[in-house]
Amino acid sequence: MSEEYKSISGLPGIPAAAGASASGGIQTCAVCANPFSTVGGQGHYIRERWVCDPCLQTAKIKAAGGNVVAAAASDGDFTTSVLFGVGAAVVGLVFYAGFTIVTHFYFGYVALAVGWLIAKAMMAGSKGVGGMKYQVTAAVLTYLAISLASVPIPIAGYSQSADGTQMDWMSHAGQLAFYGLFSPFLRLRGGLSHVIGLVILFVGLRIAWRVAAGTKQRA
């Protein structure tokens, strides 16, 4: 029976064969992305990724529910997480815009659901790994989904010009983009109800931020 390397950090044991497979070679650290030599047993092979000694020593190990979790996620996890988040943002935008077009009613509380949906989708893509860049991305996607949902609404309501001809919305693309990006603030001129809507939007951003913190932290 092969021996295993035991880690005082609480990481799962690493088969001896895996640790020795790249002896004398050059590997890239999954945390800092810097190359390092495995000569003399340097570096550690953790969950099919190589981690250099300095990163392993400074890695933040978080105990969650009794399970010790290593913070060594690859950039691929973040890319997948962003793709999941973008997909959820599109779904949230379509739902919010569609609801408003059909009911002719702005329901600001949808922002809470959109923020939660985007962050949960990102955490599904990263397998629970979160952190600052996940939180920032989730908040940005939430804001864009809610604000840009305002663009299809006037298009649906004014598909024809006053003289009955079809509106050329492409000629107004710049104005629509500006309105979409800043619509939560531009609507403040509409009264107190829109102020409340802006507050709800910020609560939705807060929800996305908290959920995207994840259950595992990256070093």
Confidence (pLDDT) at 141: 96
Co-location of 65 and 142 in the same domain:
no
Co-location of 60 and 113 in the same domain:
no
Token representation of residue 79: 């890319």
State the residue for tokens 């329901």: 107
Co-location of 33 and 139 in the same domain:
no
Co-location of 33 and 102 in the same domain:
no
pLDDT per residue over 56-112, tens digit each? 766 543 333 333 344 444 566 889 999 999 999 999 999 988 888 887 777 778 889
Co-location of 141 and 172 in the same domain:
yes
- The Cα 63–Cα 162 span in angstroms is 63
Token representation of residue 9: 């950090």
Co-location of 82 and 175 in the same domain:
yes
pTM: 0.59
Q: Domains in the chain: how many in total?
A: 2
Confirm if 145 and 114 have CB atoms less than 8 A apart.
Answer: yes
pLDDT confidence bin for 186, thresholds 50/70/90: confident
CB neighbour burial string for 51-85, b if at least 16 within 10 angstroms, e if fewer: bbeebbeebeeeeeeeeebbbbbbeebbebbbebb
Confidence (pLDDT) at 90: 95
State the residue for tokens 């109800």: 193
Which one is predicted more confidently, 44 or 206? 206
- The Cα 75–Cα 125 span in angstroms is 12
Co-location of 51 and 91 in the same domain:
no
Residue 184: what residue type?
A: P
- The Cα 67–Cα 46 span in angstroms is 16
- The Cα 125–Cα 131 span in angstroms is 14
pLDDT per residue over 97-152, tens digit each? 888 888 777 777 888 999 999 999 999 998 888 889 999 999 999 999 998 888 88
Of 69, 103, 119, the residue that ends a domain is 69
Which one is predicted more confidently, 91 or 28? 91
Of 69, 86, 111, the residue that ends a domain is 69
Residue ranges making up the domain that contains 82: 75-217
